[in-house]
Chains A and B, each alone.
Chain A
Amino acid sequence: MTRLSAQSLTVRRGGRAIVDGVSITAESGQFIALLGPNGAGKSTLLTCLAGLAPPDEGRIMLDGEPLFRVGRRALARRRAFLPQSPRAEWPISVERLVALGLTPQLPAFGGLPADMLARVATVLADADLTARRDQPATTLSGGELARAMLARALVGEPDMLLADEPLAGLDPRHALDGIMRLRGLADSGTLVIASLHDLTLAARYASHVAVMRAGQLVAFGETAATLTADLLRAVFDVEACVGGAGTATAVVDFVARIRE
């Protein structure tokens, strides 16, 4: 059981509050879609919740212990973090790239033990990348790289996954694959928080939605009860139509706001 709870988080950059008094409690088994317009503070909040940047105010507890007191390596074994549009900086093979996700589990010296290699092979197959195993990661297409990076984040079997737009650039089939895997992870007891821009996918597969606007958390709760047309209208400034939120056939559509 994992329980991540933040109380009145505030992060300031250049005098402006990027994240403004956000309180949220997330537990294992939840797949929380973090929604909000560009510049709402989603990425900053995710970085904070991942324990990678301390907030200016407020505190974050992981299972009742202050997050920033959990050891670096111990936290790395429990939490996976995927930043927005990650890049591979050297042309290492896709297999090696994914294996880097096992860094915190690795012995100080030597190569990968056999059981870890097997895990790498499994996540590669899940990501539909087995054929690309030996290809340099820098030659992957954007969507393939995004899938490889998600595989990298999942190979360590984390208790919680924080991902910043993990589905950006994926074709419809792989976006569906990806979000269904995130939901599957949550169903098997992982805490998943992912910022998304595809509202329909979020409405279908996220168990919870957290909606941000101008640094503040304006709504948080179960998808069916929370993701409403009124909320989308207020947050995204569009005319929205939400059908069947929280079910596998949910549809979210929107058009430009009609102004008098």
Chain B
Amino acid sequence: MNRLLWSAAFLLLALVMLLSLVIGQVWLPPAALLDGLFAPDPNLAGLILVELRLPRMVLGLMVGAALGLSGAVLQGLLRNPLAEPGLLGVSAGAALGAVIAIYFGLAMLYPLATPILGIVGALLAGLLTFTIGRGGTLTLILAGAAVSGLAAAGLSLALNLAPSPYAAYEITSWLLGSLSERSWAQVLLAAPFILAGLACLVATMRALDALTLGEAQAASLGIDVDRTRLLALLGTALAVGAATSVTGAVGFIGLVAPHLVRPFVGHQPSRVLLPSALFGAILLMSADIATRIIPTTQELKLGVLTSLAGTPFFFWLVLRLKRTAP
């Protein structure tokens, strides 16, 4: 990606970040927000900005980057344009962990129980995928599918046996994915995991380039393919697992972001990574802003919106593959 495109992307990101601070359920003029921020004593505008919109923006930034980067790494690792972060069973594991916290009422006693159990679930799911599927790329995908299936079964069981309709409603509504009403405590809990995960994912960069030649040639070029698989899985478990633990399931960002940037960087896998993180963040925050603007009686959930907007893209991708495939 050349300098002009990079600057345009960063400008777009800055714009989205600013909008996500200015736009909310309550309209406050930017001047009032600024005044509130610098006012010496606590006031409503300042509280809304610092305690509601700022954590939401930071969370959107991190989660979007995690999804975009993980999607780009997995597509590069598996050399499959349809790979996405949920493929390794990590997101489903995170969702199951979080739902267990809601199901047993732990979330009521201790608000951080949901994300903590979510992260535990993601790491356990990642460990299970790795233990079963290690040693091959195809086995890793299959193990991921099996772990996803297991976690989905657990989720269905929780819904089935939910102690009250209210609990079932709470579980489904959490599963739909949202950034709203997340506290700084939740953001700060997830942040170290997400950052560590992003670091693991970025470390696969050079190996992904070599994998363009297939696994045998990559190995002959000194790439440790096993280690690359481990880094991608661990990075996804940490980053996407922690992200899902706080926000619930947000689909399609990890699938779409790499496709948006790929033509601009000459399809070289390593060059897709950072722009994908950037566009993941832009897409996620734009979608989150849209949920606040679109007037609905109930909160429009972020995960619902990304699916609604992402599915047509998926259709387009399939049609394009059909056209370009030999």
Q: A residues within 8 A CB of B165? A: none
Q: B residues within 8 A CB of A77? A: 222
Contact across chains for A103 and B210 when beta carbons are under 8 A apart: yes
| Bound form: Cα–Cα A96–B213 in Å | 11
Chain B residue nearest to A156 in the complex (CB): B221
| Bound form: Cα–Cα A83–B222 in Å | 15
Residue A92 contacts which of B212, B217, B224 (CB distance < 8 angstroms)?
B212
Contact across chains for B216 and A92 when beta carbons are under 8 A apart: no
Residue interface bits B89-105, CB-to-A below 8 A is 1, else 0: 00000000000000000
Contact across chains for A87 and B214 when beta carbons are under 8 A apart: yes
Q: Is A93 an interface residue (CB 8 A)?
A: yes
| Bound form: Cα–Cα A149–B216 in Å | 13
Interface of A, secondary structure class, is: mixed
Q: How many residues of B contact A (CB 8 A)?
A: 20
Residue interface bits B213-227, CB-to-A below 8 A is 1, else 0: 110110111111000
Contact across chains for A104 and B216 when beta carbons are under 8 A apart: no
Chain B residue nearest to A50 in the complex (CB): B220
Write the nearest CB–CB distance from A60 to chain B, whole angstroms.
15
Residue interface bits A138-157, CB-to-B below 8 A is 1, else 0: 00000000000100100000
| Bound form: Cα–Cα A81–B210 in Å | 13
Q: B residues within 8 A CB of A90? A: 79, 212, 267-269
Residue interface bits B199-220, CB-to-A below 8 A is 1, else 0: 0000000100111111011011
Contact across chains for A52 and B268 when beta carbons are under 8 A apart: no
Which of A79, A86, A91 is most buried by chain B, counting CB atoms within 10 A of its CB?
A91
Q: Is B266 an interface residue (CB 8 A)?
A: yes
Q: Is A101 an interface residue (CB 8 A)?
A: yes
Chain A residue nearest to B207 in the complex (CB): A103
| Bound form: Cα–Cα A249–B223 in Å | 42
Residue interface bits A171-197, CB-to-B below 8 A is 1, else 0: 000000000000000000000000000
Contact across chains for A96 and B268 when beta carbons are under 8 A apart: yes
Q: A72-B222, A72-B224 are in contact. Are A91 and B216 (CB under 8 A)?
A: no
Q: Between A and B, how many residue pairs show CB distances below 8 Å?
A: 70
Contact across chains for B217 and A89 when beta carbons are under 8 A apart: no
Residue interface bits A62-85, CB-to-B below 8 A is 1, else 0: 000000000011011101111100
Q: How many residues of A contact B (CB 8 A)?
A: 32
Q: A76-B222, A104-B221, A106-B206 are in contact. Are A52 and B216 (CB under 8 A)?
A: yes
- Give residues of chain B (258-311) contacting chain A, Cβ–Cβ below 8 Å: 266-269
| Bound form: Cα–Cα A77–B221 in Å | 8
Chain B residue nearest to A80 in the complex (CB): B220
Contact across chains for B267 and A101 when beta carbons are under 8 A apart: no
Residue B213 contacts which of A79, A93, A100 (CB distance < 8 angstroms)?
A100
Q: Is A120 an interface residue (CB 8 A)?
A: no
- Give residues of chain A (39-63) contacting chain B, Cβ–Cβ below 8 Å: 47, 50, 52
| Bound form: Cα–Cα A234–B209 in Å | 45
Q: B residues within 8 A CB of A34? A: none
Q: A residues within 8 A CB of B220? A: 50, 52, 76, 79-81
Q: Is A136 an interface residue (CB 8 A)?
A: yes
Q: Is A88 an interface residue (CB 8 A)?
A: yes
24 example contacts (A-B, Cβ-Cβ < 8 A) are as follows A52-B220, A72-B222, A72-B224, A75-B222, A76-B220, A76-B221, A80-B220, A81-B217, A86-B216, A87-B214, A88-B213, A89-B212, A89-B213, A90-B79, A90-B267, A91-B267, A96-B268, A100-B209, A100-B221, A101-B221, A103-B206, A103-B210, A103-B223, A136-B267
**B→A interface (CB under 8 Å):** 79, 206, 209-214, 216-217, 219-224, 266-269
| 10 closest Cβ pairs, A-B complex | A76-B222, A81-B220, A89-B79, A73-B222, A103-B221, A83-B216, A104-B222, A90-B267, A72-B222, A91-B267
Instruction: Add 17 more A-B contacts to A106-B206, A108-B206, A149-B213 (CB < 8 A).
Output: A47-B216, A52-B219, A52-B220, A76-B222, A79-B220, A90-B79, A90-B212, A90-B269, A92-B266, A92-B267, A92-B268, A93-B266, A96-B266, A100-B210, A103-B206, A103-B209, A103-B210
**A→B interface (CB under 8 Å):** 47, 50, 52, 72-73, 75-77, 79-83, 86-93, 96-97, 100-101, 103-104, 106, 108, 136, 149, 152
